[in-house]
Every structure is written in C-alpha cells, then in structure tokens.
Amino acid sequence: MTGRVGHTIPRYYYLLTPAFILLDYVVGINIRVAVLDATPVYKNLYYGFCVLCGVVVLVLPRASAVVAFVESTILIFLTVPGVFRPLVENVERFADLNADWQMAGALPLEGMLNLLMAAAIAVLAFHLSLSALANRGGPAGRCAE
C-alpha cells in the first residue's frame, strides 16, 4: 500500500466524524463510541476530541497516521472493558445453573463494530508509521549492526 493511499484512509475516517455524530444522534446508531452511550457528557467530549483529530489531519495530512494511532488506542482502552464485561459476567455466573443466561446479548453489535473499527484504524496507523519511519531512515529503517 502506498503511503499516499494509506494516509488517506485515516484522514477520511476523521473527516467523516460529523457523519458518525449525525448517525448517532439522528438515526440512533452509534458505532463510533458505543461504550460511552451511558455517559453522554463523556461521549460528547470524545466526539469533540474526534472533531479535533479531524481538524488536525485536515491541516496536517502527514500526521494522520499518528493521530489515528493515538485516537484508536484510546478508543480501544475505552471499548474493551465495556464490550467484554457482559461476557465476563456470564462466565462468572456459569456455576449457578439457575442463573438468567443472556449470552446472545452479551456482546453488543454496536460495541463490536466500534472495537473492530478502532482496532483496524490503529493497526493501519501503526504500520503506516513504521513504513514512514523506514522511508525517512528513522529507527525502523536502520540496519542492525
């Protein structure tokens, strides 16, 4: 993948943030920060952070890989506990055979989509950053001596 195409994907991801916000508030489908639905103040702050990321990648397109990596890493740390907590709670109730099992709803679809998007963008940004360092002769591009 060329650097130009690779930097374009995270850039469009952040430039589409207003569309994600509209999808959340108008249609009710939240795939960007699904884990923060219970705390609207933090969700709005996070959306503001994503808009700021969009401004940064619009003004400094070469920084898109770094911005994407930082934002996606933060989102993964926010999302993983919220997505997997219901599953862990079901596993903890495994000893009680009379417990109310709701395994089908244990992993919410919106949370999983959110986690997959954040992970994909983080991995893409990580590889783009490594290739950028290798092309500039940075630490990843130096030969081991």
Tell me if the pTM is above 0.85.
no
Average pLDDT over all residues of the chain? 75
Q: Which pair of tokens denotes residue 18?
A: 């207003």
Provide the pLDDT confidence category of residue 10 given band limits of 50, 70 and 90.
confident
**Distance spanning both ends of the chain, measured CA to CA:** 28
- Phi and psi dihedrals of 134, rounded to 5? -65, -40
SS (H, E, C) 109-143: HHHHHHHHHHHHHHHHHHHHHHHHHHHHCCHHHCC
What was the pLDDT predicted at 145?
41
pLDDT in tens, 82-118: 777 777 777 776 666 666 656 555 556 777 777 787 7
Mean pLDDT of 45-68: 88
The half-sphere exposure of 6 on its side-chain side, counting CA atoms within 13 A, is: 19
In contact, 131 and 3? CB cutoff 8 Å:
yes
The per-residue pLDDT for 72 is 81
Q: What is the pLDDT of residues 118-138, one digit of tens each?
A: 788 777 777 776 776 566 654
pLDDT for residue 144: 42
**pLDDT value at residue 143:** 45
d(CA 77, CA 114): 12
Q: Give the pLDDT band of residue 3 (cuts 50, 70, 90).
A: very low
